[in-house]
Amino acid sequence: MLHTNLKHIETVGEFKELLDSGAKAAIVCGRMGPMCIPVYGIMEALRDKYPDVRFFDMEFDSPVGMATIRSLPETRGFNGLPFTVYLRDGKVVAATSSIQTKQQVKEILDTRLADGSAAVAG
Amino acid sequence: MDRHYDVIVIGAGAAGLTAGIYLARARMRTLIVDHGTVGGQMILTYQVANYPGVENASGAEIVATMRRQAESFGARVLAHSEVQRIDLAGDVKTVEVEDEGTFTATAVILATGGVPRMLGLPSEAAFKGRGISFCATCDGDFFEGKDIVVIGGGNSALEEAVSLTKYATSVTVVHEFDHFQAQPWAVDEARANPKIRFLMEQDVREFVGGESLEAVVVAHKRTGEITRIPAEGAFLFIGYVPNTAWLKDHVALNGRGEIVTDESLRTDVAGVFAAGDARAKRYRQITTAVADGTIAALAAVEHVASRAKGAGEKPAGKEPAASPITSSEASPAAPGKARDHSRLLRLPRARASRASVS
Ligand SMILES: Cc1cc2nc3c(=O)[nH]c(=O)nc-3n(C[C@H](O)[C@H](O)[C@H](O)COP(=O)(O)OP(=O)(O)OC[C@H]3O[C@@H](n4cnc5c(N)ncnc54)[C@H](O)[C@@H]3O)c2cc1C
């Protein structure tokens, strides 16, 4: 159970629906641990500043975590919690592993999820 | 939102939150600003076993309680809010915060703590989260059955090396000196573990790999002999550096970049106090940060009261001889004049050295 103020993605169906909708989204997949809590906090703080982006979390050890974010080609080679993925136009446009700063998250939101930016995975 | 506060606290770790509790409880209008998550290093601590009165709690639980206490007394907490500009020189201090605007205060407490020391290698950033980690408890299970390296020689490094042997096939501890800084019990425990081997007097040269880390390249400090250690994980525990680089033109720092204070935790600028890991002191623990937060808050309350009465209290270094300043060698600056930090650079090492025991 993640104790955050973010919306939780709890089923594979919810993840697929979000991906298929083409919406801009950030999903933090982690545990309630020291490297993850700051990233949830950053997303909560940025939520109001990016009204066109939907912010979620997902439990790392849950079936949905295993079946979705942990199995994506974009997170292969990741071994630092949390895994954070950014979606847009039905694709994963960015993914990061381990703790991030607000500045690093903003940079992705301002480039990969900005209107007019190309949807390129990386 | 209020624009003027009695005291603005920069940093919401153990020191800043404690200062907030004491200030707000003393009916000071108090703003606490943090550019990151509330809690600072406490958030990074899974289990705190040495905070008196709390038998066993996670850092996050202690943080939540401290924040609740501070807010319940009336302190306002702004998290994830970048401090963009400060002016600490005059009677009225100015703090400009991203997206929030400019706040003023009669006193400021600097409680900006520390950040993990990095090696500074380009390959270090490239493999962060792809083999390089700073948290054994968070990421240890990714390295089940793998060979890993632990870099560092303090308590954290050796304790985490031992805990990582639960998962890893082998743990190579790489340290820059020929001896450890850790306490003898931590060294003994690591030495007794058959999965741990030690490479001493090594410089880390590079992290190598493809999609994720494959090896750590080190060089012997005296002979220059290069060793390539095959490893899928590297955990860095090489200490913390004070989060004060941005303050160098505002308050006196010593040669290690730590804020210099006197016993009342006054800096060399009137109305500016420092608390916690960011200041020059010997031991860095939650208890010592909390003690600092208390002292700085009480001193700030006194400063605000004396300002209200029209009197000013003196910055560090202006004490009469009868009241010795035991933990500061700050030379106060005349307003508007460049500070002479040369004396601070000669602070006795023992007095200024860090000891972070986790
Ligand atoms: C992994 C780990 C385990 C530990 N275990 C223990 C333990 O078991 N027991 C114990 O007693 N101690 C432990 N410690 C040490 C203890 O956590 C610290 O000594 C203490 O928390 C320091 O508190 P602080 O408030 O001085 O600084 P910090 O906790 O570093 O807080 C400083 C705050 O200031 C903020 N900040 C920094 N710069 C700025 C800026 N420019 N603008 C705005 N905000 C800023 C930061 O975001 C941070 O929140 C541990 C430390 C670590 C890293």
Cα dihedral value B119, B173, B135, A46, nearest 10: 10
ipTM above 0.95, yes or no: no
Q: Report which of B68, B41, B88 is spatially closest to residue B251, judged by C-alpha positions.
A: B88
User: Is the predicted pLDDT of residue B297 greater than 90, yes or no?
Assistant: yes
B74-100 pLDDT per residue, tens? 999 999 999 999 999 999 999 999 989
In a domain, A44, yes or no: yes
Mutate to test the pocket of ligand 1, among B17, B38, B42, B158 (most ligand atoms within 8 A of CB): B42
In a domain, A100, yes or no: yes
**B312 — pLDDT class (breaks 50, 70, 90):** low
Identify the pLDDT of residue B44.
83
Total number of domains in chain A? 1
Average pLDDT of span B60-66: 95
| Domain-wise residue ranges, chain B | 4-115+240-329, 118-236
Q: Report which of B147, B169, B134 is spatially closest to residue B358, judged by C-alpha positions.
A: B134
User: Is the predicted pLDDT of residue B344 greater than 90, yes or no?
Assistant: no
Identify the pLDDT of residue B314.
61
The answer to which of A66-80, A108-122, B75-89, B211-225 has the lowest mean pLDDT is A108-122
Report the alpha-carbon distance of residue A38 to residue B40 in Å, rounded: 9
B242 Cβ contact partners less than 8 Å away, ≥ 6 residues apart: B112, B113, B114, B256, B257, B258, B259, B277, B278, B279
The pLDDT mean for chain B works out to 88
**Which chain B residues contact residue A32 at CB under 8 A?**
60
Mutate to test the pocket of ligand 1, among B17, B78, B88, B286 (most ligand atoms within 8 A of CB): B286
Is A41 in Cβ contact with B38 (below 8 Å)? yes
Identify the pLDDT of residue A78.
96
Q: What is the CATH number of the domain that holds A49?
A: 3.40.30.10
Identify the pLDDT of residue A87.
98
Backbone angles phi, psi at B215, to 5 degrees: -160, 160
**B313 — pLDDT class (breaks 50, 70, 90):** low
**A119 — pLDDT class (breaks 50, 70, 90):** very low
Return the residue of B nearest to A96 by Cα.
B129
Task: Name the residue with the closest Cα to ligand 1, atom 6.
Answer: B358
Identify the pLDDT of residue B330.
35
Q: Tokens for A12, please give them.
A: 């594979």
Is B135 in Cβ contact with A38 (below 8 Å)? no
B3-35 pLDDT per residue, tens? 999 999 999 999 999 999 999 999 999 999 999
User: Is the predicted pLDDT of residue B260 greater than 50, yes or no?
Assistant: yes
User: Is the predicted pLDDT of residue B311 greater than 80, yes or no?
Assistant: no
Report the alpha-carbon distance of residue B81 to residue B10 in Å, rounded: 10
User: Is the predicted pLDDT of residue B348 greater than 50, yes or no?
Assistant: no
Report the alpha-carbon distance of residue B355 to residue A1 in Å, rounded: 36
Identify the pLDDT of residue A117.
61
**Which helix H or strand E contains B207, and what residues bound it?**
strand B202-209
Angle of helix B59-72 versus helix B14-25 axis, rounded to 10: 20
User: Is the predicted pLDDT of residue A25 greater than 80, yes or no?
Assistant: yes
Return the residue of B nearest to A39 by Cα.
B37
In a domain, A59, yes or no: yes
Please count the CA atoms within 13 angstroms of the CA of B295 that sit on its side-chain side.
Answer: 18
Q: What CATH number belongs to B4-115+240-329?
A: 3.50.50.60
**B264 — pLDDT class (breaks 50, 70, 90):** very high
User: Is the predicted pLDDT of residue B70 greater than 60, yes or no?
Assistant: yes
B96-126 pLDDT per residue, tens? 999 899 999 999 999 999 988 999 999 999 9
Query: ∠ at Cα B73 (B72, B75), nearest 5°?
Result: 95
Task: Name the residue with the closest Cα to ligand 1, atom 37.
Answer: B112
Cα A92 to chain centroid distance, Å, stands at 9
Asked if residues B277 and B254 have their Cβ atoms less than 8 Å apart, the reply is no
Asked whether the CA dihedral B291, B297, B300, B302 is positive or negative, the reply is: negative
Q: What CATH number belongs to B118-236?
A: 3.50.50.60
Q: How many helices and strands (H and E) does chain B possess? A: 8, 17
Identify the pLDDT of residue B1.
64
Is A42 in Cβ contact with B130 (below 8 Å)? no
In a domain, A18, yes or no: yes
What are the pocket residues of ligand 1 if the criterion is a CB atom closer than 6 Å to any ligand atom?
A: B 10-16, 33-36, 40-42, 44-45, 48, 50, 83, 111-114, 243, 246, 276-277, 284-287, 289, 356, 358
Report the alpha-carbon distance of residue B213 to residue B203 in Å, rounded: 18
Average pLDDT of span B242-256: 96
Average pLDDT of span B170-186: 97
Average pLDDT of span B204-211: 96
Asked if residues B344 and B316 have their Cβ atoms less than 8 Å apart, the reply is no
DSSP A49: G
Domain range spanning residue A56?
Answer: 7-111
A65-74 pLDDT per residue, tens? 999 999 999 9
Is A81 in Cβ contact with B60 (below 8 Å)? no
Average pLDDT of span B200-225: 97
Asked if residues B86 and B96 have their Cβ atoms less than 8 Å apart, the reply is yes
In a domain, A118, yes or no: no
User: Is the predicted pLDDT of residue B254 greater than 90, yes or no?
Assistant: yes
Q: Higher-confidence residue: B300 or B333?
A: B300
Q: How many CB atoms lie within 10 A of CB B63?
A: 24
The CA A121 to ligand 1 mean position distance, Å, reads 35
